Structure 1
Amino acid sequence: MMRILVATDLSERSNRALRRAAMLASERRDDLIAVHVVDDDQPARMVELECREAAAVIEDAFDALDLPDTVTAKILIETGDAFDGVLRAAASQQADLVVMGSHRRRMLADVFVGTTAERVIRHGTRPVLMVNREPEGPYLNVLATTDLSEASVVAFRAARRLGLTDGPHVGLFYAFDPAAKGLVTLSSGSGTATRDYVEDVRSHLRREVHAWIKQNALPVPTSLTLAEGPAPAEIVAEADRGGWELVVVGTHARSVVPRLLHGSVAEYVLRHAARDVLAVPPAALAKAA
């Protein structure tokens, strides 16, 4: 049994997340906790009123879901900043998974501080499932991504532990950049030589990926795709191209300045993917091992 925490701002985006979280909880007879964070930078009477109203709205949403008796549902109201309230709730409830809706894009604020979901992932220790699409059933087609790092191992194991890779099709995706492609083209002047070089790199990397799977005792995927190009954009493109319902990405611990300047693969996928995304922070290692 797991504990699933779904964060809601009472919007339709959050309602999709609530429905997905309820579906997951019903499949595994898990605990379902819905948390709403009320801004406390306002008069105390307004905070109290908003807390009561939010609890009533969530209770109505629970009733509409018609949850089975095997699911224990709970409402939690926090006050403060949204991301901090979600983190506090996840810690106090010992959540195994945090479920959130897709974010409302605010360009300038997102650049400097990140979305609520990104900040929960960045500062938290639990996998975060961002729900971008209306749930229609269990995940049947799941795409795990890898850069052959420990973070990718952690993400794959976390997805398995959460039961998100129990469907019939689990693909693995690796994006690569043939470092000497330009040099080969320049020196040979031949498109054939360049294509041969890229295919040689692809074949070598395919062997490396299979060795990585075996070394880390991971299940053999039903498909393996190696795409040439920058990882962030290629992952998003493959998610749409392959009709994947869920994309699994690991995140790397990074300092603030490099993140602001260059972003990260996980953050790009979270912001641009039209499919659901499971992002697993490095701190989930102990839980996923």
Structure 2
Amino acid sequence: MAIVCASPLMARESREVEVAAALAARLGEPLLLVGVIDGEPLTEATRLEAQRHLEAQAERLELPPGRVSCRVRSDTDAVLADEECRHSRWVVAAAEGWRTSAWRRASLPERLARHGCGPVLSVRREDALVDWLRGRRRLLVVVGVDPLSPTADAAVAFLRELRRVGPCDVLATYVCSPLEERDRLGIHTPVHVDLLEPRARDMEALDPAVETVLLREVREQVGDLLGEGGVEVVLEPGFGRPADHLLHVALSRGADLVVVGMRARGAVKRLWHGSVSAGVLRNAEQAVVCVPDVLREPRHALPPRSVLVPVDFSDASERAIAQARSLVGPGGRVHLLHVHRKRLGETGGFMDHYGVLPEPPREREVMLRRLWELVPRDEGAQALRWSVEGVTGEDIAQAICQATEREGVDLVCLGTSGEPSREPDALPGAVARELVARCRRPVMVVPGT
């Protein structure tokens, strides 16, 4: 698979060719130089002159004979139609120097990335890239991550390719909204800001419990990265455009390269929703790599190591607990969750729009004791890790979904029964259907006998 380098021939200076040549030499791949006469009519004389210009560049690159080929294209659309470009290992493009029409703001690097032409490197500060490719220094890389995004999975997968090229220190950066994360995780903290200390009124501050969960999620998404260099997780709380916050981290930490995933979108979606990768490409001061989401690595199905069991103290719950313990091996974890359905007229503490509340204080100790009594005492059960939790919520399915995110479990195991239960917080049959529809984790439904 070739390394493709796209350059605007009318630009005064373009050093992306030097970057592409160093990359091709490092990876042992052939190099294709594509010169684009952007905005000028392509006559035969112009084409021949451009071809000679590209061949002269190729001779100066000091690559082995036959490893460099040259082509001239009339415009950016012709580059996108090039078969070798669409199936390249890397596409290296100049970040600037492209002419765009008034009705189309996207530059060639953005359009290449949008069309899924392999990882697209938009070159800025080329000296750092060339020194890295020639083994003179490490590269400091900011990668945009998001535990909920498949495009971030593609960016993380690309880090393995990057480390095969040369040593990299990685800043895995998650731009997160504190309020949205509290809502997703169901973590309760007071929201009456008039009663909080001035320091705690900062709406961009992460709750320590939220921060703990996010750090775990990002580390799980990044996984083990082979190769030389460190990995640091950076949580960047903020509101507004995520691209601005990601670039703030890159600028403040002196990064050499920003890596983001990109999803192909229709024109209407791009118009209304924008794109994090497009914002990074247009405004970064560093080089940027856009990785199409089609390049993300498939996740292999593994046996569950942690299971959450919603408990209403019925026989169905006990069957679900028995099923859950059979699914996780020694050292695995089973988390028992009881959801107290909030009843009319119940108060107790401040209301929290974003998180679920703990069990009512007068019932908490009794409920936790009942949950622990459900934990089997035999030798096999002692080889597992057990935990219990009680929460209060109006939406039972949502409270269960929030608990799965907080606890990071692999599976939900829910017992159902056709018989009515006398327990005040019995799980209605509709909860199983809602969980299957709303939960990001697999849901196993254990029917009654």
**Under TM normalisation by the shorter chain, which class is it?**
0.7 to 0.9
Q: 1:68 aligns with which of 63, 66, 76?
A: 63
Q: 2:46 aligns with which of 46, 50, 58?
A: 50
Identical aligned pairs, as a percentage?
29
1:256 aligns with 2:252: no
CA distance in 2, matches of 1:14, 1:160: 32
Shift of residue 197 of structure 1? 5.1
Distance 1:186 1:90, change over 3 A: farther
Corresponding residue SS for 1:24: helix
Corresponding residue SS for 1:135: helix
Deviations 1:250-272 (A, max 9, x none): 01233322311332110000001
Tell me the equivalent position of 1:97.
Answer: 90
What residue identity is the alignment partner of 2:96?
H
Contact persistence 1:142–1:167 (CA under 8 A): no
CA distance in 2, matches of 1:58, 1:246: 27
CA distance in 2, matches of 1:184, 1:105: 49
Distance 1:92 1:9, change over 3 A: closer
Tell me the equivalent position of 1:126.
Answer: 118
Corresponding residue SS for 1:8: strand
Contact persistence 1:7–1:99 (CA under 8 A): yes
Shift of residue 175 of structure 1? 0.9
More helix by share: 1
* Segment of structure 1 superposing worse, 158-167 or 16-25: 158-167
Aligned residues: 278
Corresponding residue SS for 1:234: helix
CA distance in 2, matches of 1:100, 1:71: 22
Corresponding residue SS for 1:270: helix
Structure 1 or 2, whichever has the larger Rg, is: 2
CA distance in 2, matches of 1:58, 1:270: 26
1:85 aligns with 2:96: no
Deviations 1:104-154 (A, max 9, x none): 487973x64522221111123311000011324115212211112221111
What residue identity is the alignment partner of 1:68?
L
Q: 1:271 aligns with which of 282, 286, 290?
A: 282
Distance 1:176 1:108, change over 3 A: farther
CA distance in 1, matches of 2:162, 2:206: 40
CA distance in 2, matches of 1:264, 1:187: 36
1:281 aligns with 2:292: yes
1:188 aligns with 2:199: no
Contact persistence 1:35–1:89 (CA under 8 A): no
Shift of residue 78 of structure 1? 2.6
Corresponding residue SS for 2:127: coil
Tell me the equivalent position of 1:19.
Answer: 18
1:222 aligns with 2:231: yes
What residue identity is the alignment partner of 1:186?
V
Give TM-score scaled by structure 2 length. 0.55
What residue identity is the alignment partner of 1:59?
E
* Segment of structure 1 superposing worse, 236-245 or 219-228: 219-228
Structure 2 residue runs without a partner (length 5+): 133-137, 183-189, 301-449
Shift of residue 54 of structure 1? 0.9
Distance 1:185 1:207, change over 3 A: farther
CA distance in 2, matches of 1:157, 1:265: 18
Distance 1:32 1:105, change over 3 A: closer
Q: 1:114 aligns with which of 106, 110, 115?
A: 106
* Segment of structure 1 superposing worse, 150-159 or 269-278: 150-159
Deviations 1:86-116 (A, max 9, x none): 222353683111110113487973x645222
What residue identity is the alignment partner of 2:217?
E
Tell me the equivalent position of 1:211.
Answer: 220
CA distance in 2, matches of 1:236, 1:160: 22
Give TM-score scaled by structure 1 length. 0.82
CA distance in 2, matches of 1:53, 1:257: 40
Tell me the equivalent position of 1:200.
Answer: 209
Shift of residue 282 of structure 1? 2.0
